Structure 1
């Protein structure tokens, strides 16, 4: 069996278990619904907030993230933090919470207004323990009861009509380093990798820097979602934005190829020339941002738009990406915008 097939099998089994657990919790606590006509959600993940030293992957993104929080708070959005918000493989919780007290206070405004959904991932699974949440995280967010989930099913409705389900989870389920050998992985990151990173300031958040691993995991997440009935999977973990079940890079490549073909037929068209130039620039931006090679990657075959990925809030250039649900649609957003202004 190939490596990709093994990955898909492990991820599928883990997601099946996670989805079943979400259904059981839902049966006990009741359904949560999202009305597509009025819902306003912004979903971010994978901040990896640290100690403001050379090993801190979030430090460069703090400005963009805080600006986004202010924007979405004043517009009445619900904030969803989809795991790996704090880098607790490298740092102690109190250290991180103190280093980013202002950012957490901004998140806390959503929490105090009842517009906050919090998830734990593999790098902040300390928050899977309610006692630690009550003692440390909840006070940093202004206090009050706080539930930190592994999974959540949102029932999407248009008025009284049921449209399907959103399944939200961090997305690490089934990975070898995050599930099978997690204690060893934590030990390596904290005691071996972090001192090196502090000196070199080189960022490493697998699978975000391993393109083949990242692709295999995205493919496994999509394969699971494609097999479900009226279920859309929203995840993070890979640090790679995926929109309509294909990566942002793949989307831009397709648009660029289509526009180049049109320009070949009408080479003097200034509007097409401008579009090609803009798409080519955006592609190079993405390639440099993700530190990927220019080689065309394999593209997940798009059968249905059943998998979306937030990307991350830990890009080296200070950008962040997320998923915005508003006006009955889901959008991939990047902060700052192309003009480097604090806007999506």
Structure 2
């Protein structure tokens, strides 16, 4: 409901970031960092995610987190999440201090759209060991959407979490947050599916993705989203809709890399090597293809 209007509004107010063929970006979405308890769906992939981020930090990538980085529907205090995954946040801090971290909010962490919430939760944290406040992401701005723009050839890539216009997760999100925090948080531990999540509802997911492609056909823009948790890399005959997938798949994390003017779908997972030892491996699952191949004229 109201998807076109919401996406158009997000496009008009998007934060613009210049890029060229020398730019390098890694996009992950739907990390859903929690409290490291049984209900924390990120916990089983935290080592894969940390290893992948180390790779991108070392290789000068800018990290774009496309919404729902933190699970603030199930947890009302960000400090609980930061403490549970302090090593991850210290790594993210390195990206931020080198001006290579861009955070978008999704429906599960949309309270960060308020500057005062971002200031209270993200600017600094209390170091329990040293017993003083330390900087985390000082003066960070959390965006609803961004546009990567190439001034040389007028390329634009619109990036947004993708919950915009999703009635349950956009218009009535306070109700769903209440249910997630006090009801579904406990039930999904034993296998029940949250009906609000497009990741667990194929009909809902396809409806949302149909709205994405409708917006692309009207605006003739490249769109990258998350939200549905389903990785998407368009085939040659399809409209340029990409989806990062998520970081809470049972066995892997997925994302999108932009490098040398090309875009790739990648996954990181734990696999045995020839001697039987487990290793974290990166694999390109689709692409790379030049971004210009997806431009609509």
| Structure 1 length-normalised TM | 0.73
From 230, 241, 244, the equivalent of 2:234 is 244
1:11 and 1:174 in contact (8 A); partners too: yes
Please say if 1:234 is aligned against 2:224: yes
Number of residues of Structure 1 aligned to a counterpart in Structure 2:
266
Distance (Å, rounded) in 1 between the aligned partners of 2:254 and 2:167: 26
Map of 2:57 onto structure 1: 73
Map of 2:290 onto structure 1: none
Shift of 1:138: 2.7
1:54 and 1:197 in contact (8 A); partners too: no
The 3-state SS of whatever aligns with 1:227 is helix
Distance (Å, rounded) in 2 between the aligned partners of 1:134 and 1:184: 25
Shift of 1:309: 0.5
Shift of 1:32: 2.5
| Larger RCO: 1 or 2 (CA < 8 Å, sep 6+) | 1
The 3-state SS of whatever aligns with 2:108 is coil
Shift of 1:163: 3.5
2:48 and 2:270 in contact (8 A); partners too: no
Instruction: Write 1 or 2 for the structure with the bigger share of helix.
Output: 1
Distance (Å, rounded) in 1 between the aligned partners of 2:59 and 2:113: 30
With over 3 angstroms needed to count, the CA separation of the structure-2 counterparts of 1:330 and 1:96, relative to structure 1, is same
From 309, 314, 318, the equivalent of 2:248 is 314
Please say if 1:124 is aligned against 2:62: no
The 3-state SS of whatever aligns with 2:211 is helix
1:84 and 1:123 in contact (8 A); partners too: yes
Shift of 1:331: 0.4
1:112 and 1:142 in contact (8 A); partners too: no
| Structure 2 length-normalised TM | 0.84
Distance (Å, rounded) in 2 between the aligned partners of 1:173 and 1:143: 26
Map of 1:50 onto structure 2: 34
Distance (Å, rounded) in 1 between the aligned partners of 2:96 and 2:88: 13
Q: Residue deviations 1:4-23, cap 9 Å, x none?
A: xxx5xx3222211221232x
2:146 and 2:159 in contact (8 A); partners too: yes
In structure 1, stretches of 5+ residues that fail to align are 1-6, 247-301
The 3-state SS of whatever aligns with 1:185 is helix
Distance (Å, rounded) in 1 between the aligned partners of 2:205 and 2:118: 30
Q: Which moved more, 1:96-105 or 1:12-21?
A: 12-21
The CA RMSD over aligned residues, in Å, is 2.0
Please say if 1:41 is aligned against 2:46: no
2:63 and 2:102 in contact (8 A); partners too: yes
From 187, 191, 212, the equivalent of 1:221 is 212
